[in-house]
């Protein structure tokens, strides 16, 4: 993608990755992604904000072909999808000074072999003039690494937010052209990347509310010409209040667990509780992460495999524990052949979830009338708990 203007003196010069389908060998990318870098020019001086993934070296260096001198390379984040080409850019521009937080300095030296003498560290709130414009650096640790900062540009009032407010979405337009992106790609990104750091996100959102922001330019996905909808969405997602929703990831090998899941889905729907079952035979874990952003209750469905939960279920429970969603309740439903330790083993996988555990239902073989009655009671309990919290 060629350089695309944000305004009279800022261009997007990063790369769109239409074809990438997996990030960190874990996260599905159904819509590809982008690695955004921004070139700021003022009164003959030039700064580059972030680089791109090394796989897109040709694109970034091609977009910088007409840039003869670079005063500053600002690194908001040390993860390699944004920092990976810093060595190449510093090699091309021997006069350029690399600007980052003190914590990022050590990481950039360790991960990329950057020479310390090329680096200028900036304190939280420190400013840096570039011709007629000014950068202000705001340290924002744990969105989602400890060294991260965002860069605010005056007088344009653009917030270069790094991963914060990002979305894995490939598109040719530089700006958001369809706000459904917020509830799809941006929410997916929040669920997968930011949700474990919800309390940090809350603090950073409060701090940013005091800043006059005209535009948000993240490091993945399109730029927000209107920052209000994405900031409002983040405040909702990062809030402490879940919604009247139940998520049921499950596996059924011979049909017994599926009978319990089907019964629970039906009972919850009949009590006006929104419910999303995810058959883990074929589930996009990004969709599951989106569902966990809002859910009040997680019900895990699994048969016994070698007396424990099915490994695919255990993997998703492990992931849910790592993502730290704002769940209030957890239960387990499932089935076994001759013996099991399903409940103990799943309980051991969720130390991060500060939840009330509702009574599990594990049937021996096909669910009997008493098991189905227990599922009805579980649905009633969930509906009552949600109502007591006033969940919408």
Integer Rg of the chain from CA:
24
C-alpha distances in Å from residue 214, one per residue of 10, 153, 156, 294, 320: 14, 10, 7, 28, 35
Q: Which of 77, 105, 198, 204 binds ligand FEO (CB under 6 A)?
A: 77
Whether 185 contacts 178, CB under 8 Å: no
Helices (H), the chain: 57-63, 80-83, 86-92, 102-112, 180-181, 187-189, 198-208, 228-237, 256-270, 285-294, 311-323, 342-347, 369-388
Of the candidate residues 17, 71, 81, 192, the single one contacting ligand FEO (CB under 6 A): 81
d(CA 373, CA 182): 40
Measured from the CB atom, is 200 or 297 closer to ligand FEO?
200
Total residues belonging to the chain = 392
Residue among 193 and 391 whose Cβ is closer to ligand FEO = 193
Which range, of 79-87, 208-216, 226-234, 293-301, touches ligand FEO by CB under 6 A?
79-87
Kind and range of the H or E element at 119? strand 119-121
Tell me which residue has tokens 């729907």.
269
Q: Name which position in 63, 151, 219, 252 contacts ligand FEO (CB under 6 A).
A: 219
Residues of this chain, 146-175, that bind ligand FEO according to CB under 6 A? 163
Task: Tell how strand 329-336 and strand 38-42 pair up.
Answer: unpaired
Q: How far is the CB of 3 from ligand FEO (least distance, A)?
A: 21
Strand order in 72-74's β-sheet? Answer: 4-5, 10-12, 38-42, 45-49, 72-74, 97-100, 119-121
Q: Phi/psi of residue 199, each to 5°? A: -70, -35
Give least dist CB 315 to ligand FEO, A. Answer: 22
Whether 53 and 80 have beta carbons less than 8 Å apart is answered as yes
Binding mask 256-285 for ligand FEO (x = CB under 6 A): ------------------------------
Q: Which residue number, 88 or 262, has a Cβ lying nearer to ligand FEO? A: 88
Q: Given candidates 79, 245, 294, 371, which one binds ligand FEO under the rule CB under 6 A?
A: 79
Please count the residues of this chain forming the interface with ligand FEO, following the rule CB under 6 A. Answer: 8
Query: Near ligand FEO by CB under 6 A, which window of 5-13, 73-81, 99-107, 263-271?
Result: 73-81
Give the nearest distance from C-beta 88 to ligand FEO in angstroms. Answer: 18
Interface mask (CB under 6 A) for ligand FEO, residues 95-134, using x and -?
A: ----------------------------------------
Strands 158-162 and 15-17: unpaired
The helix-helix angle for 311-323 and 285-294 (nearest 10°) equals 50
53 binds ligand FEO, rule: CB under 6 A: no
User: In terms of CB distance, is 54 or 337 closer to ligand FEO?
Assistant: 54
Residue from 51, 52, 72, 82 in contact with ligand FEO (CB under 6 A): 82
From the CB of 14, what's the least distance to ligand FEO, in Å? 11
Q: What are the b/e assignments for 17-38, b being 16+ CB within 10 Å?
A: beebeebeeebbbebbbbbbbb
Nearest position to ligand FEO, beta carbon: 79
Choosing from 220, 326, 340, 386, the residue that interacts with ligand FEO (CB under 6 A) is 220
Which range binds ligand FEO by CB under 6 A, 74-82, 255-263, 283-291, 318-326? 74-82
Are 98 and 86 in contact by the 8 Å Cβ rule? The answer is: yes
In angstroms, give the least distance from the CB of 101 to ligand FEO: 14
Where along the sequence are the contacts to ligand FEO (CB under 6 A)?
Answer: 77, 79, 81-82, 144, 163, 219-220
């Amino acid at each position: 993608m060629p350089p695309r203007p944000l305004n009279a003196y800022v261009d997007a010069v990063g790369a769109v990755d239409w074809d990438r389908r997996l990030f960190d060998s874990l996260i599905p990318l159904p819509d590809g992604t982008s690695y955004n870098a921004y070139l700021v020019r003022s009164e003959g001086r030039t700064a580059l904000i972030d680089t791109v993934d090394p796989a897109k070296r040709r694109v970034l260096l091609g977009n910088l072909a007409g840039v003869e001198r670079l005063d500053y390379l600002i690194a908001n984040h040390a993860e390699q999808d944004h920092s990976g080409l810093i060595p190449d850019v510093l090699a091309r521009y021997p006069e350029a000074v690399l600007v980052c937080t003190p914590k990022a300095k050590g990481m950039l030296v360790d991960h990329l072999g950057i020479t310390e003498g090329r680096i200028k560290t900036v304190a939280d709130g420190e400013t840096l003039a570039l011709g007629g414009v000014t950068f202000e650096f705001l340290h924002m640790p744990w969105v989602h690494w400890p060294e991260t900062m965002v860069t605010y540009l005056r007088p344009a009032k653009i917030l270069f937010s790094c991963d914060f407010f990002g979305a894995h979405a490939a598109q040719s337009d530089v700006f958001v052209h369809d706000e459904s992106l917020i509830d799809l790609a941006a929410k997916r990104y929040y669920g997968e990347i930011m949700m474990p750091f919800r309390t940090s996100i809350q603090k950073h959102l409060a701090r940013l509310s005091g800043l006059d922001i005209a535009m948000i330019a993240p490091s993945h996905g399109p730029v927000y010409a209107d920052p209000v909808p994405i900031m409002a969405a983040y405040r909702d997602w990062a809030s402490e209040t879940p919604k009247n929703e139940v998520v049921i990831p499950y596996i059924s090998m011979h049909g017994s667990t599926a009978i319990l899941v089907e019964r629970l889905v039906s009972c919850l729907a009949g009590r006006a509780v929104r419910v999303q079952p995810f058959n883990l035979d074929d589930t996009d874990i990004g969709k599951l992460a989106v569902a966990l952003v809002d859910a009040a209750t997680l019900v895990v469905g699994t048969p016994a495999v070698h007396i424990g939960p099915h490994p695919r279920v255990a993997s998703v429970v492990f992931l849910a524990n790592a993502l730290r969603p704002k769940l209030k309740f957890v239960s387990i439903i499932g089935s076994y052949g001759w013996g099991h330790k399903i409940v103990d083993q799943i309980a051991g996988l969720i130390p991060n979830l500060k939840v009330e555990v509702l009574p599990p239902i594990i049937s021996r073989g096909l669910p009997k009338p008493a098991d189905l009655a227990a599922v009805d009671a579980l649905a009633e309990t969930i509906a009552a708990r949600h109502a007591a919290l006033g969940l919408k």
